[in-house]
Copies of this chain bind each other. A is one copy, B any other.
Amino acid sequence: MNEIASDELRPAPRAHQGRRAVISREDLMAAAMVLVGPNRSISTLSLREVAREAGIAPNSFYRHFRDVDELAVTLIEQAGASLRQVIGEARHRAITGRSVVRSSVEAFMEQLWSEQKYMQLLLREGTVGSDAFKAAVERQLVYFEDELGVDLVRLARANNSGIYRPDLVARSITRLVFAMGATALDLAPEKRRQAVEDLIIMVRMIVVGTQTIAEGRARID
């Protein structure tokens, strides 16, 4: 994508010629993360602002990203990858435990509190901003859905329980959890526990629903 990003692709074709970069893409991404907050979305950050926070001249920004939007997309991908890893681990660790729903939701919410700013990118900024930005977030959500879908099928087989339209089940759960997580982000700490319990019940309803339908026991109104 970017000629500078390809540094990591070709490790050192000719070391470095000229002055070595004193600042890295990662530094700029970190600076951007310092600036975002509950009332500051990534798309409202200015190039100068990020550069200022990183302690470099505005123009140096261009050597690393074409514009703030490209930086935002990179951050989204990083946040998505890290979240999917955490949740994936939680799900597989829980296979031997008791409730997959509970441990997955709890893992998600833990990641939510500990990485608030990263999570905010995925949860609440996916619907505004440039097309590239929206697409990047949507991509992460679909990754998430796909992995969840696979696990749902595997679990259904293991438990000898039916599952109806696992794709839609995965989609429902993902979107619901992300939506509830977004509102939970600015929730008073003492209400968080309750929010987690509520969310677990919500997810269980979906799971019970798909099982009941699959087993032909559903009464459709």
A31 within 8 A of B: no
A221 touches B99 (CB 8 A): yes
The residue on B at minimum CB distance from A183 is B138
Q: Interface readout for A204-221 with B: 1 if CB under 8 Å, 0 if not? A: 111111111100011111
A147 CB to closest chain B CB (Å) equals 18
Q: Which residues of B have CB within 8 Å of A138?
A: 183
**Contact flag A206-B204 (CB < 8 Å), given A125-B128, A198-B168, A221-B161:** no
Chain A interface size range = 35 or more
A123 to chain B, nearest CB (A): 7
For the complex, give the distance between the alpha carbons of A41 and B126 in Å. Answer: 12
Decide yes or no: A213 and B221 within 8 Å by CB, A127-B182, A175-B176, A176-B179 being known contacts.
no
Q: Does A25 sit within 8 A of B, measured CB to CB? A: no
Chain B residues in 8 Å Cβ range of A39: 129-131
Cβ contact within 8 Å between A208 and B213: yes
Q: Does A60 contact B (CB under 8 A)?
A: no
For A90, the chain B residues whose CB sits under 8 A away are: none
A93 an interface residue at 8 Å Cβ cutoff?
A: no
